[in-house]
Amino acid sequence: MQHLIDGYRIYREKRWPELRALHRRLAERGQSPHTLVIACSDSRVDPATIFNAGPGELFVIRNVANLAPPCEEASIGLHGVSSAIEFAVTKLYVETILVLGHAQCGGVAAALSEEPRDPNSFLDAWIGLLDTAKARIKGCSGDPAQALEHESIRVTLENLKTFPFVVRAMKEHGMELVGARYGVADGSLEVLNLENGAFEPVV
Ligand SMILES: [Zn+2]
């Protein structure tokens, strides 16, 4: 905890003075983030840092392997990711949903592993969301981890379209769905071209 307190003191001293006015506005008017980012929980992939975004700009969901489940019945189980998507889309009216994957994703590596799954593991069940994607990359040439990192982004984009409120927002407000993958080692970013299905580097 001492690390966090030390960090907080630096934040209060160095950053807060310039953020004070912005925070006051955000407190008075409420948040109006333009983008929902669905990113991995990985500590190396912080959307606000990567996109040079300040407070109030990004509504962020982070979980293992940047996944969204398909739309399920709301009355069965508890749906943290789905409820955050619903909030961003139906209450905050975000203009864009960005699914942000990354290189060296531990969740993707776990999905590629041939180890038997533990039926009592939340993690193993969650990673099962990548089973279809894993089947799709079978037999592909190249690095399977990179291929599955790309597929994890595509799977999430597909799952997002199973939520009726997402489809409605796309039709009625022109909300966009986009995908990108961040290179942890070199800071590169590649964006999914929805027309040809390829990931293209941002230069
Ligand atoms: Zn990851």
Indicate the pTM of the whole model.
0.95
Q: For the chain, which residues make up each domain, given as ranges?
A: 1-30, 31-201
Handedness of CA 191, 192, 193, 198 (dihedral sign): positive
Q: How confident is the model at residue 1 (pLDDT cuts 50, 70, 90)?
A: very high
Mean pLDDT of 63-85: 94
For residue 153, which of 76, 97, 73, 86 has the smallest C-alpha distance?
97
CA of 43 to the centre of ligand 1 (A): 9
Q: Per CATH, the architecture of 31-201 is what?
A: 3-Layer(aba) Sandwich (3.40)
pLDDT at position 25, please?
96
| DSSP, residue by residue, 20-60 | HHHHHHHHHH----SEEEEEE--TT--HHHHTT--TTTEEE
CA of 63 to the centre of ligand 1 (A): 8
3-class secondary structure, 181: strand
C-alpha 123: how far from chain center: 17
Mean pLDDT of 126-147: 92
CA of 202 to the centre of ligand 1 (A): 20
Q: What distance in Å separates the CA atoms of residue 35 and residue 81, rounded to the nearest whole number?
A: 15
Q: How confident is the model at residue 140 (pLDDT cuts 50, 70, 90)?
A: confident
Rounded to the nearest 5 degrees, what angle is found at the Cα of 127, between the Cα atoms of 79 and 150? 105
Q: What distance in Å separates the CA atoms of residue 151 and residue 132, rounded to the nearest whole number?
A: 9
Mean pLDDT of 84-102: 98
CA of 17 to the centre of ligand 1 (A): 33
- pLDDT 10s digits, 32-71: 999 999 999 999 999 999 999 999 999 999 999 999 999 9
Mean pLDDT of 24-31: 96
CA of 149 to the centre of ligand 1 (A): 8
CA of 127 to the centre of ligand 1 (A): 11
Which residue(s) pair with 36 in the sheet?
59, 97
CA of 140 to the centre of ligand 1 (A): 21
Q: What is the mean pLDDT of the chain?
A: 96
CA of 29 to the centre of ligand 1 (A): 34
CA of 105 to the centre of ligand 1 (A): 4
pLDDT at 75 over 90: no
Starting at the earlier edge strand, list the strands of the sheet with 96-102. 58-63, 35-40, 96-102, 176-182, 189-192, 199-201
pLDDT at 181 over 90: yes
CA of 4 to the centre of ligand 1 (A): 23
Mean pLDDT of 147-175: 97
pLDDT at 159 over 90: yes
pLDDT at 141 over 90: no
3-class secondary structure, 200: strand
